[in-house]
Amino acid sequence: QEAGEYTMKMHPMWQGPLVAPGGNRQSPIDIRVRKSVFDPHLKPLTPDYDPRTCSQIWNNGYSFLVEYDDTTDKSTLKGGPLEDNFRLCQFHFHWGESNAWGSEHTVDRRLFPAELHMVHWNSDKYSRFEEAVMEENGLAVIGVFLKIGKRHEGLQKLVDVLPAVRHKDSVVEFTRFDPACLLPTNIDDYWTYAGSLTTPPLTEAVTWIIMKQHIEVSHDQLAVFRSLLFTSAEEEVQKSMVNNFRVQQSLQGRTVRSSFT
Ligand SMILES: NS(=O)(=O)c1ccc(CCNC(=O)Nc2ccc(Cl)cc2)cc1
Ligand SMILES: [Zn+2]
């Protein structure tokens, strides 16, 4: 790893239980690059998002969710490892209190300061998210690593509105945001594996698609994420929303496939 890179071992969060009770395909995991298996049958991923389906931003007390109207097939994801058509319902992030850690997945134990999750549900087989979340082929989540670097112009529209959802349970209208601007330029190179939600209900319903290429955001942009609060406006003690990632889970015999050699 690069000098100064923060690894899994050094961070206290990682000493927690390695296996969730009763699960054998839990997330997040460490992606061991040399153990991933190239799958030539994996197709290119074809996201097709309509910015007009963007509706609001909500602080749920753990992260902030940018929610999309998923009552029609307007913002969809197909291809890659997916057999069916999936509908975008929200995206959110996980991040640390420092730039040394924050991502949920790691690549050969390398931690990133944050990770974007774009959450989709199988609209060919199910009629709503709540149904799909209980099924093993119900969800598809695209994971994108964030690194500190140049300012992300597309992200700034989102960063500017975050102070309006500082407290838990606050909601603000947010429209015409194209989530495709948060994807890396190369979306053909990814890892994919069968996993779970990384927060309750922790259901083993997720086909994970983790992008090999990261996106860059500025230090100041990530600092605004950390200005959010876990706590509601009424609570006396305000707690900064940081380190909202889960302890890594064991692979338990699963194979991580790659779309590239
Ligand atoms: N982290 S995931 O993509 O596996 C995931 C996707 C969807 C859900 C159901 C909707 N709920 C939700 O998104 N909750 C949430 C998000 C971020 C944090 Cl830090 C805490 C809770 C849960 C987990
Ligand atoms: Zn997440």
Between CA 7 and CA 107 the distance in angstroms is 10
pLDDT interval class at 8 (50, 70, 90): very low
Ligand nearest to the CA of 142: 1
**Cβ–Cβ < 8 Å for 210, 105:** yes
The string of DSSP letters for 7-33 reads BGGG-GGGGS-SS-TT-SS-S--EE-G
Mean pLDDT of 75-93: 98
Least confident of 68-72, 159-163, 235-239: 235-239
In the predicted model, is pLDDT for residue 41 greater than 80?
yes
pLDDT interval class at 19 (50, 70, 90): very low
- Strands 206-211 and 139-148 come out as parallel
Work out which ligand 1 atom sits closest to the CA atom of 201: 22
Ligand 1 binding residues, C-beta < 6 A: 60, 62-63, 65, 92, 94, 117, 119, 141, 197-199, 244
Report CA(169)–ligand 1 centroid distance (Å): 15
Mutate to test the pocket of ligand 1, among 62, 94, 197 (most ligand atoms within 8 A of CB): 197
Ligand nearest to the CA of 204: 1
**Sign of the torsion angle spanned by Cα atoms 158, 208, 140, 196:** negative
Least confident of 15-19, 43-47, 193-197, 252-256: 15-19
In the predicted model, is pLDDT for residue 1 greater than 90?
no
Would you give the DSSP letter of residue 54? E
Q: What are phi and psi of 181, to 5 degrees?
A: -70, -15
Question: Long-range contacts made by residues 40-43, C-beta under 8 angstroms, separation at least 24?
Answer: 42/80, 42/81, 42/192, 42/257, 42/259, 43/79, 43/80
In the predicted model, is pLDDT for residue 16 greater than 60?
no
In the predicted model, is pLDDT for residue 166 greater than 90?
yes
In the predicted model, is pLDDT for residue 103 greater than 80?
yes
In the predicted model, is pLDDT for residue 189 greater than 70?
yes
Distances, alpha carbon 64 to alpha carbons 111, 152, 163, 184, 235, in Å:
21, 18, 11, 21, 18
The residue with tokens 């100041």 is: 220
According to the model, what pLDDT value does residue 20 have?
53
According to the model, what pLDDT value does residue 54 have?
98
- Atom 4 of ligand 1, nearest CA residue: 197
Distances, alpha carbon 19 to alpha carbons 16, 29, 134, 249, in Å:
9, 11, 20, 5
Report CA(74)–ligand 2 centroid distance (Å): 22
In the predicted model, is pLDDT for residue 7 greater than 60?
no
**Sign of the torsion angle spanned by Cα atoms 202, 81, 77, 118:** positive
Work out which ligand 1 atom sits closest to the CA atom of 133: 9
Report CA(121)–ligand 2 centroid distance (Å): 14
Q: How many C-beta atoms lie closer than 10 Å to residue 50's C-beta?
A: 18
**Cβ–Cβ < 8 Å for 162, 171:** no
Report CA(3)–ligand 1 centroid distance (Å): 32
Angle (CA) 178-183-186 rounded to 5° is 135
Above pLDDT 70, what percent of the chain? 92
Mean pLDDT of 226-240: 95
Would you give the DSSP letter of residue 130? H
Mean pLDDT, the chain, rounded, equals 93
According to the model, what pLDDT value does residue 136 have?
96
In the predicted model, is pLDDT for residue 2 greater than 90?
no
**Cβ–Cβ < 8 Å for 249, 18:** yes
In the predicted model, is pLDDT for residue 215 greater than 70?
yes
pLDDT interval class at 22 (50, 70, 90): confident
Report CA(119)–ligand 2 centroid distance (Å): 8
According to the model, what pLDDT value does residue 158 have?
98
Would you give the DSSP letter of residue 240? B
In the predicted model, is pLDDT for residue 15 greater than 80?
no
Distances, alpha carbon 233 to alpha carbons 61, 93, 165, 226, 256, in Å:
11, 22, 10, 16, 42
Best CA proximity match to 89, nearest among 142, 10, 36: 142
